[in-house]
Structure formats: structure tokens, C-alpha cells
Amino acid sequence: MKVDGAASGPVVLDTAGLAAAVETLIGDGWSVIAPTVRDGAMVHDVIESVADLPTGWGDKQEPGRYRLRRRDDSARFGYAAPAQSWKRLLFPPRTTLWRAHRPPPGSADRDAGDFVVQVATATPRYAFLGARACEVRAIEIQDRVFLGGAHTDPGYRAARESALVIAVNCSSPADTCFCSSMDAGPRVASGADVVLTEVAEPQHREPWYLAEAFSDRGAALLRRVPSAAATPEAIDAADAVVANAAAHMGREMPDVDLHELLSESLEHPRWDDVAERCLACTSCTLVCPTCFCSSVEDVTDLTGTEARRDRRWASCFELDHSYLHGGSIRSGIRSMYRQWLTHKLGTWFDQFGTSGCVGCGRCVTWCPAGIDITEEIRAIAGPHLQEVTP
């Protein structure tokens, strides 16, 4: 929720103000995580200062293809979704849930016949700098998955409740982006502590930032860094950045009732068509910022004195994922792909009350076969689309 009051009205930060915000957070003990350039892509990593941000870098994303490019300005946030999402930090790819130790024979603990069990407790303090509207929306969706309902995830809760989110409204959507049509961007509506809009200036002059506090923590941070009051012109300039982004979405999800469409299309021939292209490699599900499936592995050491339970990311494109007694119920790519798409865009509503898609486009960009879910929906929706757009 937006905080009322003059102290938390929008302010303008220059580079020194942004640098001060990063320094303040690091000084307060936060791990500041932001997009950085690594191995030809934007990758979230710990930063030490504003100098670590990818100044002047942009991206070009297409189905199955990602390239960095140089911008003709000095924007620090002038690119679309990085290679992987913030999910890596809140719901890590591999976590030890607990460890058990059997004391050596003869010790008092051993005589009691006990394993000593230690529940893993990590309490990271992450500040996410540069999260986009689609990504903040994805975090809210995962909040519902991990924290809603009767059974909550303690590891996710610890990381999430401490996390500070400094979001940035999107200025430069990619060819694979469609957050507008998923009502997830490009403007951050909720779920952040501070929302920045970066206004890049031509000829590599320093960009500046319109900063709005969306929470008390965010307002407190902004009060501690040098800023200027936002003029109406500054607010207009920032609004124009977001409006321009909305006008340049690379893709669009067809405007149909996806829940109904998919529930009626379980035997559509398009599933066979996509199964010929899909590699079942799991990439789409693992780069998806909302996919939440995991598998647990029980591990023992050779001597039988140490044991642990690990949780790792899993995917509906793994054969083991649907293994029940006697075999896997989804043994072919057709049924695996259908499971992914119908859950993401359809039955997610039944389960959690929203869509599971935020339109970040990662599944499109990072699919080695270049499969585009908006195109698959368009093919499945064919006649429905003609009905709604006569």
C-alpha cells in the first residue's frame, strides 16, 4: 500500500541519491541484489555499489534467443527480464531442510537411541534492487503459494518477510514481453517498498529517478538519502517512460477466458504439434518466476551417521514428476506440455485464484526450441478469437 503524507510523496534521486540508497542498505546489513552483466546476459547478483549496475546495457530478446546490446544512453535499468527471476533467492534451487546426526556408539545420546535432528534455519536479508512489475507480481503469486493456506513454508517466509523490494518501473520491454496483457505491468502496482522510475537522458548524461515509497520501510529509506521534491514535470516525465513501455510490448496474450478455453481444449490437436517441438528440457518451468514445484531427496553418508533432506527444484517436464506407484502418469511430451500450460494459465485460477503467468516472457526467450506460449494460446483459441473480435 502506498503511504500517505508529505514525507513519503514522490521524490527525485540523482545518481548520488541512488548510490546513497545502496550504501545505506549495505551499511544496515542488507545483501543488495541487482541485475549485473555476466556471460552475455543480465544475471541477479550481489552488488557493492551503483557502479556494479549494468550502465548503458540493454537487451534483445526473441523466442529462443537472448543478446545484450549497447544503449545510446547511460540507463542502469534499460533492459527487460534478466535470465532468471528472484525466485532463486526466495525459493532456492536446492536447500537443505534438515540434517540428522547419529552420535558415535557409546555416547550418552547414542544410548538413548536418538538421532539429533537440526532444522536448517537461514535468515538472509535481501534487498532486491531493480525488480520489475512482472517480477513483483510473480513474488505476490508465490506468496500465495508458499504463505497462503494452512501449510506455509518456513524457509520462504523467513527470506520473504525480511526482503526489501526496490522495484523499477519498466522502460524497455523486450520482444518477448507481454505483462500488459497479463495485468502485471509495466507499472508496479503493489508489493514493493520503493518504486523507482528511471528517466534516462540523451548523450550519456546521468539518468535520474522518480522514487515513491510504497511502505513504511521504503519511506524510511528515502528519508535517509539526498533527494529533491518531485516537480509536476518530473512526474510527467516518469509517467511518459512507463506509457512508452506499455506502448512497446513485444507480445500480447490473446484476450480470451484462458481458464475456460484450456479446460475445453484438452484434446486440441495443437498439443501434438507443440509436442513435436518441445524438448522437455524443463527450462521454461525453471526460469518461470511463479513455477514452484520441488522434489525432496533423502541423503545419507557412507557410515550412516549423517543424514539430510534436501529440497530441489522440480519440473512437470521431468518423468519422475508424475511418478506414482507403477509408473509416470504423464509419460509423453504432449501431456507434459499440456500440464504446464493448462496449469499456468488455467487451473492456477482454481488453485490460487489468479493466473500463474505474469507475462515476463522468460519461458519464450529461454526455450531452446523458441516455443512462444502466446502463440500456442493463439493457435488453440483460433475460433474463439474470431468470436470476440468480429
Which residue, 120 or 280, has its beta carbon nearer to other proteins? 280
**Residue 65 is a binding residue for other proteins (CB under 8 A):** yes
Angle between helix 373-388 and helix 270-277 axes, rounded to 10 deg: 160
Which residue, 118 or 300, has its beta carbon nearer to other proteins? 300
Which residue, 58 or 218, has its beta carbon nearer to other proteins? 58
118: left (phi over 0), alpha (psi -120 to 50) or beta: beta
Tell me the closest approach of the beta carbon of residue 45 to other proteins, in angstroms: 9
Tell me the closest approach of the beta carbon of residue 93 to other proteins, in angstroms: 4
Is residue 317 within 8 Å of 285, Cβ to Cβ?
A: yes
CA 374/CA 364 separation, integer angstroms: 9
Which residue, 241 or 371, has its beta carbon nearer to other proteins? 371
Is residue 295 within 8 Å of 320, Cβ to Cβ?
A: yes
**Neighbouring residues of 51: CB distance < 8 A, sequence distance ≥ 6:** none
Would you state the cell numbers that stand for residue 99, as one nine-digit string? 540434517
Tell me the closest approach of the beta carbon of residue 268 to other proteins, in angstroms: 19
DSSP line for 273-299: HHHHH----SHHHHH-SS---EEEEEE
Interaction with other proteins in 239-278: which residues (CB under 8 A)? 275-278
CA 112/CA 186 separation, integer angstroms: 59
Is residue 289 within 8 Å of 135, Cβ to Cβ?
A: yes
Amino acid in the structure at residue 80: A
Stretch touching other proteins by CB under 8 A, among 88-96, 156-164, 165-173, 263-271:
88-96
Which residue, 268 or 362, has its beta carbon nearer to other proteins? 362
**How many residues sit in the footprint of other proteins (CB under 8 A)?**
49
Tell me the closest approach of the beta carbon of residue 6 to other proteins, in angstroms: 43
**Residue 159 is a binding residue for other proteins (CB under 8 A):** no
Which residue, 187 or 338, has its beta carbon nearer to other proteins? 338
Interaction with other proteins in 5-44: which residues (CB under 8 A)? 38-41, 43
CA 355/CA 255 separation, integer angstroms: 13
CA 280/CA 76 separation, integer angstroms: 35
Interaction with other proteins in 92-121: which residues (CB under 8 A)? 93-94
β-strands 126-131, 164-168 pairing: parallel
Tell me the closest approach of the beta carbon of residue 264 to other proteins, in angstroms: 27
Tell me the closest approach of the beta carbon of residue 119 to other proteins, in angstroms: 20
Does residue 339 sit in helix, strand or coil? helix
Q: What number of CA atoms fall less than 13 Å from residue 61's CA on the CB side?
A: 29
CA 170/CA 9 separation, integer angstroms: 20
Tell me the closest approach of the beta carbon of residue 125 to other proteins, in angstroms: 20
Stretch touching other proteins by CB under 8 A, among 22-30, 62-70, 162-170, 244-252:
62-70
Tell me the closest approach of the beta carbon of residue 97 to other proteins, in angstroms: 14
Element (DSSP H or E) covering residue 152: none
Interaction with other proteins in 369-388: which residues (CB under 8 A)? 369
Candidate list 19, 199, 280, 385; residue touching other proteins; CB under 8 A: 280
Interaction with other proteins in 292-351: which residues (CB under 8 A)? 297-304, 312-313, 315, 317-320, 331-333, 336
Tell me the closest approach of the beta carbon of residue 136 to other proteins, in angstroms: 21
CA 351/CA 347 separation, integer angstroms: 6
Q: Which x/- pattern over 351-370 shows residues binding other proteins (rule: CB under 8 A)?
A: --------------xxxxx-
Residue 122, judged by CB atoms within 10 A of its CB (0-12, 13-18, 19+), counts as exposed
Which residue, 38 or 223, has its beta carbon nearer to other proteins? 38
CA 59/CA 85 separation, integer angstroms: 16
Would you state the cell numbers that stand for residue 253, as one nine-digit string? 496474450
**Residue 83 is a binding residue for other proteins (CB under 8 A):** yes
Which residue, 87 or 187, has its beta carbon nearer to other proteins? 87
**Chain contacts with other proteins (rule: CB under 8 A):** 38-41, 43, 64-67, 83-84, 88, 93-94, 275-283, 286-287, 297-304, 312-313, 315, 317-320, 331-333, 336, 365-369
